[in-house]
Structure 1
Amino acid sequence: MKTKYGHLTYCSNIHPGESWSDHFSHLQKNLPLVRANLSPDAPMGIGLRLANEASLELIKPEVIAEFQTWLEKEGFYVFLINGFPYGSFHKTAVKENVYKPDWATKDRLDYTLRLFSILSRLLPEGMEGGVSTPPISYQYFDTTDFDRKQRVAVATKHIVDVLFYLIQMQKDSGKTLHLDLEPEPDGVLGNVELLVQWFLDVLLPLAIPEIQTKWGLTKEVAECTVRNHIRICLDVCHSAVSFEDNQTIVKLLKENSIQVGRIQISSALKVEFSKQPKEIMDLLVSFDEPTYLHQVIIKSDDGKLQSYPDLSEALQRGGKPFEEWRIHFHVPVFLDSYGLLSSTQKELIELLNLQKEFSITNSLEVETYTWSVLPEELQIPIVASIIRELQWVKSILENEISVGITE
């Protein structure tokens, strides 16, 4: 839905399934109920998750035509696609496989180009659209720096192939589409600083000369073209887990002219071991589930950070007094605490206030996809969950609190 601070939606990766029929049935069942509660008098945007299998079906002319007819009839529009998870994302052990195939593979390239082809047909006139994608790969796939550098080189070349596709698409259709790389702890581009470094030191030096050669553009215009089509997907859960400061993030992106393709509105699980450590550890066991990666970064009382690839490994270590744990577990954004446990809702509110003040992006996407693996006492029916999440975000956006970036 259109708000004063951008188009607000939720990501449909909350719904299970890999086929287009699975995806579409969930959209048909749930979206009209959500819109009736939140945007009954105006069209509502969709953050569409398409598995690879579903993309192979939806790209067929007769199938996408049927979907377009439904969108128009029901009052929806598609402006974002989540292209991070390629295959199954529910009811199976996803873990680090969510990065497979990574950007060093042709499968990831072909899948992403297909998503852009679909988005170009669905995107309303006059709007920009984006596809989110992994931060190149998972860092533990490589055992040596040399192997990782090789992987990054191949991956960057594939991303430049997507860039060329998007440049040509804009020339042919006038539509601006962008690839949104999503930093995540333990990704090769695990945080915003690493993404900025890759963008400046690897992507631009490779892409700019090739654009100049192919289209005869000046260096300055070629660089602007890269920045227009390759952006960052800023997932607030991920940056909070990494203890990244929101004001520093916004300043860093602004200073380096890197655009935010979308903000993924999400909260991480936060634990402060100031009291009752045994009771806290017992509670955390219920969040140690086998489906998703739950990376943990621990901040000790002296400010040092220590990371663990998954919650199970951090639990083996145990908690210590005065530590703060940030856990990659997308908990409901409308809750700031769960008894002895809490969330990074404060950090999320801070970034939403920065969005209100500086218009960081025009695309806002709630992404709480872990409802089915939350402890039972935190689960409520899916439509009610989505509505409550979006209502909470709207209430924050409508509250005219603003913050300034400190120097």
Structure 2
Amino acid sequence: MITNYGHLTYCSNIHSGESWAEHFDQLRKYIPEIKKKCSPHSAMGIGLRLSAIAARVLSKKNEILLFQNWLKEQNAYVFTMNGFPYGGFHKTIVKDQVHTPDWTTAKRVVYTRQLADILAALLPEKMEGSISTSPLSYRYWHKNEAATNQAIHTSTHNLVSVVEHLVTLHKQSGKTIFIAIEPEPDGILTDTASFIHWYKNVLLKTGAKQLHQKLDIPLSKATALLRKHVRLCYDICHAAVNYEVHADQIIQLQKSGIKIGKIQISAALKAGFTKKKEQNDTLLEAINQFLEPTYLHQVISRSHQQELSVYPDLPEALKSVDAAPAKEWRIHYHVPIFTKRIPPLSTTQEDIITLLNIHKQTPLTQHLEIETYTWEVLPKSLKKDIAGSITREMKWVIKQLNK
């Protein structure tokens, strides 16, 4: 839906179904009800997540025509896509495989091009389209600095080849589609600072030369096209887990001339420890309720001396409790954004409010997407009706934007 501060939607990765038939069934089930409650008198935006299997099917002319007709009937439109998870994302062990295949592979290139073609067919006129994607690769897969640098080099080369496709697509269709790279803990691009460093020192240098040679255009034009077609996906949960100061990061992005392509509105789980063992035991008991085998839940611990310790998953952090006393934990676990506290734990909801207030003062992007994909694995006390929960999240964001 269109707001005074951009297009607002939720990401359909909340809905299960890896095949297009299964996922389309979920959209048909939930979108009409959510639209009726959130956007009854205006068009409803959809943030579409497609697995590679689903994308191959929806690329067929008859399938995309059926979907276009359904969108028209529902008074709905697609303006953004989640191209991060390539394969299974529900009812399977995802963990670090959410990055598979990463940007070092041809499969990631083919998949992202396919998403761009689908989005170009669905995107309304005079509207830009975004595709969020992996932060190049998962850093623990690369054993040393040389291997990591090689992965960055190969990933950048492959990403630029997708930009070539997006440039051609714009010439053919008039549609502007951009890739929005999503840093997250333990990605090669783990936070906003590492994204900026890569963008300025790798993408705009070696990437611009590649595009300049491939398209036979001036280097300045190649640089401008990269800035247009490669942007940042600012996931608020991920930034909060990294203890980022949002105002500072926005200033650095603006100084670097880097656009935010999409804001993913999401909240992390937070625990504040004390020196009282009894209270801490209560916190740990509550945290244990969030142990589940599907997704990675990276933890960044902050000590009383403000030192940060990074754990690749929640079990590793729990094992460290006695050896590394902490003042605070922030856990990469997307929890309902309308909840400030899940007693005795809390959430990083305040980070969402802070960033949305910055956005209201100086618009950062036209694409706002709620991303709480964990409903199936939340503790029983938090599991609610999906349509009702999505509606509540949408209305909470609308309320914040209208304040």
* TM-score, normalized by the shorter chain, greater than 0.5: yes
Query: Per the alignment, in what secondary structure is the counterpart of residue 18 of structure 2?
Result: coil
The match for 2:386 is: 382
Deviations 1:84-105 (A, max 9, x none): 0011101111000000000001
Q: Partner amino acid for 1:289?
A: E
Deviations 1:207-236 (A, max 9, x none): 222333344443333212110000111100
The match for 2:145 is: 145
The match for 2:229 is: 229
Q: Partner amino acid for 1:183?
A: P
The match for 2:72 is: 72
- Contact persistence 1:52–1:86 (CA under 8 A): yes
The match for 1:159 is: 159
Matched, 1:35 2:35: yes
- Contact persistence 1:179–1:230 (CA under 8 A): yes
The unaligned stretches of length 5 or more in structure 2 are: none
Q: Structure 1: how far apart are the matches of 2:316 and 2:325?
A: 18
The match for 2:314 is: 311
Matched, 1:287 2:276: no
Q: Partner amino acid for 2:303?
A: S
The match for 1:193 is: 193
- Contact persistence 1:227–1:258 (CA under 8 A): yes
- Contact persistence 1:299–1:325 (CA under 8 A): yes
Could you tell me how far 1:172 is from its partner in structure 2?
A: 2.0
In the TM superposition, structure 1's runs of 4+ consecutive aligned residues that sit over 4 Å from their partners are 319-322
Q: Structure 1: how far apart are the matches of 2:339 and 2:213?
A: 52
Q: Structure 2: how far apart are the matches of 1:198 and 1:291?
A: 30
Among 388, 394, 397, the residue aligned to 1:393: 397
Report 1:1-400 matches (<5 A): 1-274=1-274, 275=276, 276-318=279-321, 323-399=327-403
Q: Structure 1: how far apart are the matches of 2:155 and 2:211?
A: 18
Q: Partner amino acid for 2:192?
A: V
Q: Partner amino acid for 1:352?
A: L
Q: Structure 1: how far apart are the matches of 2:375 and 2:294?
A: 12
TM-score, normalization by structure 2? 0.97
Identity of aligned residues (%): 46
Query: Per the alignment, in what secondary structure is the counterpart of residue 163 of structure 2?
Result: helix
Query: Per the alignment, in what secondary structure is the counterpart of residue 187 of structure 1?
Result: coil
- Contact persistence 1:234–1:262 (CA under 8 A): yes
- Contact persistence 2:20–2:53 (CA under 8 A): yes
Q: Structure 2: how far apart are the matches of 1:32 and 1:223?
A: 42
Q: Structure 2: how far apart are the matches of 1:187 and 1:26?
A: 30
Deviations 1:39-60 (A, max 9, x none): 1111011000000110010000
- Contact persistence 2:156–2:207 (CA under 8 A): no
Q: Structure 1: how far apart are the matches of 2:213 and 2:381?
A: 59
Query: Per the alignment, in what secondary structure is the counterpart of residue 81 of structure 2?
Result: strand
- Contact persistence 1:281–1:318 (CA under 8 A): no
Q: Structure 2: how far apart are the matches of 1:207 and 1:187?
A: 20
- Contact persistence 2:262–2:366 (CA under 8 A): yes
Deviations 1:271-312 (A, max 9, x none): 000250011111111111100000000010111100000000
Change (3 A) 1:159 1:343: same
Q: Partner amino acid for 2:89?
A: F
Q: Structure 2: how far apart are the matches of 1:322 and 1:187?
A: 24
Q: Partner amino acid for 1:360?
A: L
- Contact persistence 1:277–1:321 (CA under 8 A): no
Aligned-residue Cα RMSD (Å) equals: 1.1
Q: Structure 2: how far apart are the matches of 1:12 and 1:167?
A: 27
Q: Structure 2: how far apart are the matches of 1:98 and 1:222?
A: 31
Query: Per the alignment, in what secondary structure is the counterpart of residue 17 of structure 1?
Result: coil
- Contact persistence 1:233–1:262 (CA under 8 A): yes
Query: Per the alignment, in what secondary structure is the counterpart of residue 171 of structure 1?
Result: helix
TM-score, normalization by structure 1? 0.96
Change (3 A) 1:216 1:108: closer
The match for 1:403 is: none
Size of the aligned set, in residue pairs, is 399
- Contact persistence 2:163–2:229 (CA under 8 A): yes
Query: Per the alignment, in what secondary structure is the counterpart of residue 156 of structure 2?
Result: helix
Q: Structure 2: how far apart are the matches of 1:213 and 1:160?
A: 12
Q: Structure 2: how far apart are the matches of 1:235 and 1:245?
A: 13
Q: Structure 1: how far apart are the matches of 2:30 and 2:304?
A: 45
Q: Partner amino acid for 1:190?
A: T
Q: Structure 2: how far apart are the matches of 1:216 and 1:374?
A: 51
Q: Partner amino acid for 2:68?
A: Q
Deviations 1:129-181 (A, max 9, x none): 01111000000011111111111111111001001111111122221100011
Q: Structure 1: how far apart are the matches of 2:290 and 2:236?
A: 20
